[in-house]
Structure 1
Amino acid sequence: MSISSQSASEQAYAAIRDSILSGERAPGAMLGEVGLAAELGVSRTPVRAALVRLQDEGWITVYPKRGALVRGLSEKDARELADTRFVLESAAVQRATPQCRTELADRLASELDLQRSALGADDLSRFIELTLAFHRSFVEVGGNQVMLELSDRLADRQRFLLFALGDSLLARCQTIIDEHEALVARLRDEETEGFVEALRSHVTGTVDSGLRGLHR
């Protein structure tokens, strides 16, 4: 494959993937090579390579001569995602030093203002990215690079789940911010057990809302 075709394949992959994660191409939608190639302004070859990659990642199922079906996340996928995120985030916070937890609480407190600003502007995309960064910080504070890499690999699935909420997420944003604020308070007060329980409730509530969005 030439350098130019590699670049076209990467661009096609990124564009199709982003449209799936943002909900633009919803679960159940059929994607055709010809249509995608015309839309993206590339040949069918890089589109085909991009679809193979997306199938390997579990986002689509390719049916020869028919197209590709957008899969998204099943309920089982979403539940397992929530369980794994909870394990990573709670374990990382518990292994962090008290000083690191306090410093993290101070930093995250300022990020809550950014979340409020995004909510005030009805900027769903910005709010989602801020939420993902907020939760990544819980894993990062533990200082375990392997755990952080695992968390980063889950980020796209969480992004998809949040976008699936659509307008429902905007209605829940204030609740999410309130729950984030409670998590920060428990970090600052060194209520580690309380943090873990609050995190469990928060993650479960978010995925439950996400599933209702997926099935609406």
Structure 2
Amino acid sequence: MNTVTGSATERAYRHTKDAILDRRYAGGELISEGDIASAVGVSRTPVREALLRLESEGLVRLYPKRGALVVPVSPAEIADVVETRRLIETYTAERAARAGEQDRTDLAVRLTGRLEEMRAALDAGPDRPGFMAADRCFHREIVAASGNQILTGLYDSLRDRQLRMMEEGTRTVQRMERNVEEHAVILEAIRAGDPGAARTAVTAHLDTAAELLGVRR
């Protein structure tokens, strides 16, 4: 793939994925290559390549000569996302808490910065998009600290999927305040080098996420 085509494909991919994740393209909607090409200002070839990539991520289902169906979010997918987050994040939090003192200290500094970003976003109105971005980065710091790029990539994919699962109005100020408190507990468990406490704190936090998404335990 040459640079020009690759750039056009990336633009088509980013536009379409963002529209799916923020629900401008709703679940169950059939979108055409032509509509995407017009919106992005590219030919149909890079759009087709972008849709193939999105199909591999489970976000669309392709129908030749008709377009791409945005795959609706199902209760089973929501439960799967929460379960997989539990597996990844309890494991990496325990691993982070078992790391050497210097590694834990360095990670705690990064996590403190993310927590401060969450608090600042909460105080700013609140700034919900800013809060969500800092929240996501907080967890990603812990997963990435494992050094396992496959787990980190999977975490990114899960958080992308979770974006379109959140119903409007569920992220209240009270929920956000509780979120900050739960993140602080995770941070302190890792800083203290207590793997059991880190697992417990992450589990409790993801119980809150499951509640927000309507997943029964």
Q: TM-score over 0.5 for the alignment?
A: yes
Tell me the distance in 1 between the aligned counterparts of 2:152 and 2:78: 15
Gaps of 5+ in 2: none
Pairs aligned (count):
209
2:140–2:155 contact (8 Å) kept in structure 1:
no
In structure 2, give the amino acid aligned to 1:67: G
Match in the other structure for 1:135: 139
Residue 160 of structure 1, CA deviation: 3.5
Match in the other structure for 1:29: 29
Tell me the distance in 1 between the aligned counterparts of 2:105 and 2:3: 48
Gaps of 5+ in 1: none
In structure 1, give the amino acid aligned to 2:196: E
Match in the other structure for 1:177: 180
Match in the other structure for 2:212: 209
| TM-score, normalising length: structure 2 | 0.83
2:23–2:164 contact (8 Å) kept in structure 1:
yes
Q: Is 2:120 the partner of 1:117? A: yes
2:33–2:44 contact (8 Å) kept in structure 1:
yes
In structure 1, give the amino acid aligned to 2:66: R
Give deviations 1:91-124, integer Å, cap 9, x for gaps: 2332332513344334322321210112233333
- Residues 187 and 154 of structure 1, relative CA distance in 2, 3 Å threshold: closer
Structure having the higher helix fraction is: 1
In structure 2, give the amino acid aligned to 1:164: M
Match in the other structure for 1:11: 11
| TM-score, normalising length: structure 1 | 0.83
Match in the other structure for 1:200: 203
SS in 2 for 1:138: helix
1:61–1:69 contact (8 Å) kept in structure 2:
yes
Match in the other structure for 1:158: 159
In structure 2, give the amino acid aligned to 1:125: P
- Residues 85 and 127 of structure 1, relative CA distance in 2, 3 Å threshold: same
* Equivalent in 157, 170, 175 of residue 168 of structure 1: 170
SS in 2 for 1:161: helix
SS in 1 for 2:68: strand
Tell me the distance in 2 between the aligned counterparts of 1:11 and 1:174: 36
Give deviations 1:147-203, integer Å, cap 9, x for gaps: x43222331331331453243124422221111112122223344312211211211
In structure 2, give the amino acid aligned to 1:85: R
2:122–2:128 contact (8 Å) kept in structure 1:
yes
- Residues 6 and 191 of structure 1, relative CA distance in 2, 3 Å threshold: closer
In structure 2, give the amino acid aligned to 1:12: A
2:88–2:155 contact (8 Å) kept in structure 1:
no
Tell me the distance in 2 between the aligned counterparts of 1:204 and 1:135: 15
Q: Is 2:73 the partner of 1:108? A: no
User: After the TM superposition, which segments of 4 or more aligned residues of structure 1 sit over 4 Å from their partners?
Assistant: none
Identical pairs, percent? 31
- Residues 156 and 118 of structure 1, relative CA distance in 2, 3 Å threshold: farther
Tell me the distance in 1 between the aligned counterparts of 2:135 and 2:71: 24
